[in-house]
Amino acid sequence: MSDLVYRIPELPYRPPQPHYAAPGLQEDVEDSSALLEYWHILSRHKGKLILAGFLGLLLAILVTLPQTRIYQAKATLEIQNLNQDFMNLKDVSPVNESGSYNQLFDIQTQIRILQSDSLIDRTVEKLKAKYPDLVMAGTSRIDAWRKALNLPEAEPKPAIEKALEKARDKLRVRTAGQTRIVEIFFDSPDPKLAADFVNTLANEYIEQNLEARWQMSQRTGEWLSRQLEDMRVKLERSEDALQSYARQAGILITSENENVAEQKLAQLQTALTIASQDRVLKQSRLEMAETAPPETLGDVLNDSSLRVYQEKLTDLRRQLAELSTTYTPNHASVQRVTAQIETLERALERNRAMILKRIKNDYEEAVRREKLLADDYAAQSKVVREQSERSIQYNILKREVDSNRQLYESMLQRVKESSIASAIRASNVRIVDPAKPPEKPYKPRATVNGAVGLLAGLFFGVAGIVLKERMDRTLKDASDITFWLKLPQLGTIPSTAEGRKRLLYLRKKSLPTGETSLTIGPKSDERPELVTLQRKSSVVAEAFRALLTSIMLSGENGNRPKVIVSTSANPGEGKTTVTCNLGIALAEINRKVLIIDADMRKPRIAEVFGVPGDQGLSDVLKERVVDVSRLESLIQPAGLPNLYVLPSGPPTSSAANLLYSPAMHQILRYLESQFDVVLADTPPALHMPDARILGRLAGGVLLIARAGHTIRDTLQAIQDRLVADGINVLGVVLNDWKPGAGGSGYGQYKYYRSYYNSYGSAAD
């Protein structure tokens, strides 16, 4: 095959394959990922968090210990609604104590009264003889600070005023929910003083209420008494004036204080109305009697004598009918019955005529009575009209008398009620629970202060840790890769320095008694790029083998990529180290591996494996036609079975132009047919296009990140560019991971101990 010449085919285009997610699912994932991120942050710094909580707790305890012990006494009052209308006393008071507002406002008013200066003053006056310290002048904090800062002293206040301010600051009054219960609290270093102050305040409040009500009733009664005497004199004068005018005008007033003429007119009006109604009724009866047949009238039908005559006449007519069937009209029996019938008919007719005459007489009588009553009413109306002109002044005087009498009687009643009210000493306040000297101090509360200090320390600790972590945007551990990049995390490579320290420590523990040292190969020859070869049983070597497994299983249906490009975001992130160790691990499993040093700006692969690097990939790419024999001559064995190296060649500044050469595609296709796996080490991809160019020609790209060094935003930018180019990103390898330096799983490094405990004796 050394004489074959490969022509350059057209570069196939691979369209990008974006990934889509449902909006709801994406939001849920983001929320859960955010919570998981904060959990990882706090887990990484749990020691600092515990220290912050401990410092907060310690500070709270140090602040609590020197504080003075304060005791709090409590009394409970019930403020009931006062019955303002008790014994009609509601109208005695000139003020409305309850008002139209609701009970809640009234309770708030009573609370302000309990906190008033006058009530506190009365309480202090009662207690100052028993507790002299209550009114002793002391140095306040403000005065102490003024003295310490050499500021001018404030004008001294009287001792009693300072005592009132101190009591006002320590007194608290509140309601117990939506009830009429009021709770009074007072704080003091002396528990007995606290209880006595609350009880005295409650008693003084009740006494003050009683005194206020009594004084108000007393003043009201005195004022009403003076007004009552004036009203009595005024009533007497108005009555005398009314009687004098009635005598002069000839107006006769009955005992009911009514005018006789007006009474008579009213009586005549009533009688006239009744007579008119009676006349109409009788006129109707008369008209009916004159027009209707007599036997249909109600008076005729309802007359008992006529009914008897009618019954007898009916019976005789029946007899006549019976006799007529047997005898002739001239028979004596027939003639006798006929004579009786005629007699009864004449009598019946006379009675009907009398009834009609009586109906007419009744009507004429009703008409006459109505006329007489109408004449009397007209005459009496004239009399009343004449008197009404004279009674105008009389009515004015009468209304004045009635008004004065009503005011006098009402005021007399109020004077009596006020006397009763001033004598009754009822209170609407009841002491439900009097205050007792408390047994335990109210504050400082060491438990509460400690809890607050602990929570404050934890809060500031969490805030500081989260703020610091949010400002640090580097990748710390493998979980950050999955969280931020949403890419597969293929492997985590521990730091070679940390792995060596752990290896020395664990092996030293496993040495037999008497052995104190252990040497692992010549240290001068050890390189991190060859750690898989030089320290085969180390944790770092095993991590590269685990990475190899992830790559071998990354393909679908067993189609793993054969050409893999390794790159990173920035220099110094370990892409060459990962590429070399990954090639060694592949060679160990009998895979024919070629490592291409595609970094033609700063090549290192030849130096690592100790092969000549004066000629290499750049020389082949400079030729227009790929010479396979020359390409094969540049591929050199790396000193390990199945492992070969294609050096970069002399450094050049036109590396990107060479990679754009059509020959690169032919070279990779030929090498892919000759080797099981081809690994290409490329420059950083953030500012150089080499990895993107080779990635389009390769089976996949491997991103290398360095723990604590690679910024996630730069790696995210590289990922976005590769995905936009349609390049298959296999995943991310986290290199140089140091347990305890910020990773979320320092416990992950515990598997090193178990690994060496089980397999350390078999190390090479």
H or E stretch covering 673: helix 663-674
Beta-carbon contacts of 103 under 8 Å, excluding residues fewer than 6 positions away, are 81, 180
Tell me the pLDDT band of 669, cut-offs 50, 70 and 90: very high
- Residue range 377-388: average pLDDT? 73
Q: Which of 133-142, 517-526, 741-750 is predicted least confidently? A: 517-526
Tell me the pLDDT band of 639, cut-offs 50, 70 and 90: confident
Tokens of 225: 């008494």
Distance CA 686, CA 720 (A): 11
Tell me the pLDDT band of 142, cut-offs 50, 70 and 90: low
pLDDT of residue 760: 47
pLDDT of residue 139: 47
194 vs 412 pLDDT, higher one: 194
Distance CA 682, CA 472 (A): 27
Which ranges constitute the DSSP H helices of 486-638? 496-510, 531-534, 539-552, 575-588, 605-609, 617-621, 628-634
pLDDT of residue 293: 63
Residues pairing with 679 in the sheet: 564, 595
Percent of the chain past pLDDT 90, that is, above it, reads: 13
Domain ranges of the chain: 42-67+444-468, 260-399, 475-517+525-756
Tell me the pLDDT band of 647, cut-offs 50, 70 and 90: very high
SS3 at position 483 = helix
Decide if pLDDT at 247 tops 50. Answer: yes
Distance CA 572, CA 709 (A): 9
Decide if pLDDT at 129 tops 50. Answer: yes
Percent of the chain past pLDDT 70, that is, above it, reads: 74
**CA 575 vs CA 370, 376, 637: distances in Å:** 138, 140, 21
Tell me the pLDDT band of 558, cut-offs 50, 70 and 90: low
> Residue type at 392?
I
Tens digits of per-residue pLDDT, 508-553? 444 444 333 333 333 445 788 898 888 888 888 888 998 888 888 8
- Strands 729-737 and 700-706 come out as parallel
Tokens of 667: 């070279």
Please classify residue 338 by burial: count the beta carbons closer than 10 Å to its beta carbon, then call 0-12 exposed, 13-18 middle and 19+ buried. middle
- Residue range 713-720: average pLDDT? 88
pLDDT of residue 516: 36
pLDDT of residue 761: 42
Distance CA 745, CA 504 (A): 22
Decide if pLDDT at 653 tops 70. Answer: yes
pLDDT of residue 10: 40
Q: What DSSP character marks residue 43?
A: H
Tell me the pLDDT band of 31, cut-offs 50, 70 and 90: low
Tens digits of per-residue pLDDT, 337-359? 788 877 877 777 777 777 777 77
Beta-carbon contacts of 42 under 8 Å, excluding residues fewer than 6 positions away, are 49, 462, 465, 466
Tens digits of per-residue pLDDT, 158-192? 566 777 788 888 898 988 888 888 999 998 888 89
Tokens of 131: 């507790």
Rg (alpha carbons) of the chain, rounded to whole number? 63
35: closest CA among 344, 478, 479? 479
CB atoms within 10 A of CB 293: 9
CATH superfamily membership of 475-517+525-756: P-loop containing nucleotide triphosphate hydrolases (3.40.50.300)
∠ CA 420-425-426, nearest 5°, is: 105
Decide if pLDDT at 254 tops 60. Answer: no
Contact present, 66 and 438 (Cβ < 8 Å): no
Contact present, 309 and 344 (Cβ < 8 Å): yes
pLDDT of residue 111: 87
Distance CA 628, CA 633 (A): 9
Distance CA 677, CA 668 (A): 11
594 vs 159 pLDDT, higher one: 594
> Residue type at 273?
T
Distance CA 577, CA 547 (A): 13
pLDDT of residue 391: 66
Tens digits of per-residue pLDDT, 464-514? 888 877 777 778 777 778 777 788 888 888 887 655 554 444 444 444 443
Inter-helix orientation angle 712-724/690-697, to 10° = 40
Tens digits of per-residue pLDDT, 311-332? 777 788 788 788 888 877 888 8
- Residue range 697-704: average pLDDT? 91
pLDDT of residue 302: 65
- Average pLDDT over the chain, rounded to an integer: 76
pLDDT of residue 271: 83
